[in-house]
């Protein structure tokens, strides 16, 4: 027999179905179920709520616990790791050139095949080839590479072997120290498409502040290494060489130089390398100063989508809103315009790299276009890309020559694939916070503004956040004095803790 149906409240009363004389089944007249069913439903909801709450607590605790990356080891040189102990000597190094090198460059520039730009295209389609003619004329006929080599050699260069790679760095000590004073070691790390040369104008402000009208409360000795695969640092022969491996190598470099505790500073890839150093060896890092941050794991990064009206509700300042809105222009269109190179280099770096490594003109256009739009996105509206508003052609071409003469464009681009080729949040360090004292300089023309709320999620020990007056992506190259002042302010705050 079929199971007996539960009776309806009000059964036997006159009612209709669909208005045709039958019973109308009103929801409010049905029973909510037997007492046992109700209890089961309540228990299920309690268990579900407890599980969700427990998961959220676990994620909060795991996301906020102070953990470090494992300090492992590696071998990135060609072939198998030798059984003999690695040579740990530090060798002096000098940048050199030759008549053959310069002659080959000139011949390649002379054979450049020019393509006419679209009318009134300015820098909207990339590097404007009309302005490129001017750059090439200067490069071919006026740029003095030998003179720039002398400028490069004004600071002491060195090399040392670490994990199978020859690591290049400059090490600049203060020219004079007040009696009884000890300089503070500061490691500064560059990014792409920059180089150690980005720091040449900020170094004297840090090592010899009094001679430049600055307080000598803090005097630094500055170490600027080249990321392996950039300039004079040997490229990895193995797959997988990423920012964590770089951070470990640079930590070993600092130990080899005799520094147990030190400050670190970086932008672009340098910010990630320095962040990884703070995650690997937090006890050795006195302070971390950044002018860019990779913030991938934060709900705050989605809040601008809700619109300017709700921004203040989420704690954004008026300055944040100026730099984040209008959203379509400041974030969406900006990222769309500026991310094409990223997708290429994070997937197939060798393909475009082969072309750039064979053509100094193509290399210059590819690199210098970034020094235009990453310095100020509005420069794309100018016929010359605004390149000479912040930089000299000598400085720009010196940076290009560091890629050209060392043949390092391919290996520098591979760094994108090694770090980002697996997708966001694939690496442990991306899911970890940083608990060393941190300072952040927010330059207004950076590709994407990073509000303090975003930075603090990843760096809860943020003690200094500064809205900089001007400047963009290449902070040390563009605004050395502003960056030096912010570093000094940050170090003062660390020392007073």
Catalytic positions, written as ranges: 268, 416, 473
**Contact by Cβ (8 Å): 248, 280:** yes
**What sign for the dihedral angle of Cα 355, 360, 365, 369?**
positive
Q: Among candidates 436, 441, 434, which has minimal Cα distance to 290?
A: 441
**Contact by Cβ (8 Å): 222, 186:** yes
Q: Name the E strands within 110-261.
A: 157-162, 165-172, 184-189, 220-225
Token duo for residue 163: 């994990």
Question: Residue 103: how many CA atoms within 13 Å on its side-chain side?
Answer: 3
Q: Spell out a b/e string for 181-204, using b for 16 or more CB atoms within 10 Å of the CB, else e.
A: eebbbbbbbbbbbbbbbbbbbbbb
CA-to-CA separations, 264 to 272, 276, 282, 482, in angstroms, rounded: 11, 11, 11, 17
Return d(Cα 302, Cα 433) in angstroms, integer.
19
CA-to-CA separations, 493 to 251, 437, 489, in angstroms, rounded: 24, 9, 6
Beta bridge partners of 223: 171, 187
Q: Between vectors from CA 250 to CA 245 and to CA 65, what angle results, nearest 5°? A: 65
Phi, psi angles (nearest 5°) of residue 45 = -65, -40
The sheet that has 462-467: what strands, in order across it? 90-93, 157-162, 165-172, 220-225, 184-189, 262-266, 285-290, 438-442, 462-467
Return d(Cα 270, Cα 246) in angstroms, integer.
10
The pairing of beta strand 262-266 with beta strand 285-290: parallel
Return d(Cα 395, Cα 151) in angstroms, integer.
10
Per the rule left: phi > 0, alpha: psi between -120 and 50, beta: everything else, 189 is beta
């Amino acid at each position: 027999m079929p199971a007996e149906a539960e009776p309806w409240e009000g059964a036997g009363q006159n009612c209709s179905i669909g208005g045709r004389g039958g019973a109308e089944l009103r929801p409010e007249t049905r029973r909510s179920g037997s007492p046992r069913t109700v209890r089961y439903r309540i228990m299920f909801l309690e268990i579900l709520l407890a599980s969700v709450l427990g998961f959220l607590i676990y994620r909060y605790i795991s996301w906020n616990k102070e953990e470090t990356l494992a300090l492992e080891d590696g071998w990135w040189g060609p072939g198998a790791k030798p059984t003999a102990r690695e040579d740990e000597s530090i060798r002096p190094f000098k940048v050199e050139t030759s008549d053959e090198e310069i002659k080959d460059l000139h011949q390649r520039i002379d054979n450049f095949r020019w393509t006419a730009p679209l009318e009134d295209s300015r820098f909207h389609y990339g590097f404007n080839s009309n302005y490129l003619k001017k750059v090439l004329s200067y490069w071919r006929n006026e740029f003095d590479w030998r003179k720039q080599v002398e400028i490069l050699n004004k600071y002491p260069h060195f090399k040392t072997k670490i994990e199978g790679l020859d690591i290049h760095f400059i090490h600049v000590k203060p020219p004079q120290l007040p009696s009884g004073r000890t300089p503070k070691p500061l490691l500064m790390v560059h990014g792409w498409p920059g180089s150690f040369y980005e720091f040449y104008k900020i170094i004297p402000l840090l090592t010899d502040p009094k001679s430049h009208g600055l307080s000598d409360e803090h005097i630094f000795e500055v170490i600027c290494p080249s990321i392996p695969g950039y300039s004079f640092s040997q490229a990895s022969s193995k797959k997988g060489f990423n920012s964590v491996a770089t951070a470990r190598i640079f930590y070993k470099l600092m130990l080899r130089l005799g520094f147990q505790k030190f400050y670190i500073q970086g932008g672009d890839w340098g910010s990630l390398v320095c962040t990884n150093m703070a995650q690997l060896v937090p006890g050795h890092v006195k302070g971390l100063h950044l002018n860019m941050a990779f913030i991938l794991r934060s709900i705050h990064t989605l809040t601008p989508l809700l619109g300017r009206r709700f921004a203040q509700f989420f704690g954004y300042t008026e300055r944040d809103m100026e730099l984040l809105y209008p959203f379509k222009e400041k974030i969406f269109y900006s990222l769309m315009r500026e991310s094409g190179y990223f997708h290429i280099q994070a997937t197939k770096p060798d393909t475009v790299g082969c072309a750039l490594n064979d053509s100094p003109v193509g290399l210059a256009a590819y690199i210098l276009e970034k020094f235009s739009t990453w310095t100020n996105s509005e420069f794309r509206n100018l016929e010359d890309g605004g390149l000479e508003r912040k930089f000299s052609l000598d400085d720009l071409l010196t940076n290009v020559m560091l890629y050209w003469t060392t043949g390092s464009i391919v290996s520098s681009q591979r760094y994108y694939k090694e770090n980002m080729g697996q997708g966001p949040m694939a690496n442990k360090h991306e899911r970890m916070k940083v608990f060393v004292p941190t300072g952040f300089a927010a330059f207004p023309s950076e590709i994407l503004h990073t509000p303090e709320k975003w930075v603090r999620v990843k760096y809860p020990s943020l003690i200094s956040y500064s809205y900089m007056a001007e400047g963009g992506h290449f902070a040390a190259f563009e605004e050395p004095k502003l960056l030096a002042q912010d570093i000094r302010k940050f170090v003062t705050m660390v020392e007073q803790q």
